[in-house]
Amino acid sequence: MASVHKEILIDADPAQVWAVISDFTDGPVRMAPGFVTDSRLVEPGVRTATFADGTVVRERLIALDEQSRRIAYSVIGDTMQPTHDNASMQVFPHGDGHSRFVWIHDVQPDDLAVPMGAAMEHGLTIFKQTMETSR
């Protein structure tokens, strides 16, 4: 199983960053507007997210931990069809008013790690810019 691990420092308060990623329904669009063009709940605990390149992912919410500011979810289908996927996003304080954001995807088949990693990297760049300009 391939594991993709991305971290980024964001010049925004952890509570503000958490408010975006903990929003399971609209979080993807709020996180990376323009890169993610739509996100909607299709049944309780399951959303679809549509990307600008036409990719659509169906994701199931696994856990939402307010205290540790961690969300876990799994890609379960649509145009991306991993045989296994487990993802988590977590926000940590990093000095006064700053955040360290950690995003991990464990995925099979392994060849999905490269495009998934590239999409995560691109999304993180937009997320950082979005959070820092909205301060």
Give the helix/strand (H/E) hosting 130.
helix 113-133
Q: Which residue type does 44 have?
A: P
**Confidence class for position 78, pLDDT limits 50, 70, 90:** confident
User: For 100-130, what is each residue's pLDDT tens digit?
Assistant: 999 999 999 999 999 999 999 999 999 999 9
Mean pLDDT for the stretch of residues 45-56: 96
pTM of the model: 0.93
Number of domains in the chain: 1
User: For 10-27, what is each residue's pLDDT tens digit?
Assistant: 999 999 999 999 999 999
CATH number at residue 40: 3.30.530.20
Could you tell me which residues are beta bridge partners of residue 33? 36
| Residue-range definition of the domain harbouring residue 51 | 2-133
Q: Distance (Å, rounded) from C-alpha 112 to C-alpha 97?
A: 35
Which residues contact residue 124 at a Cβ distance below 8 angstroms, ignoring those fewer than 6 apart? 6, 8, 101, 103
Name the token pair of 45.
């605990």
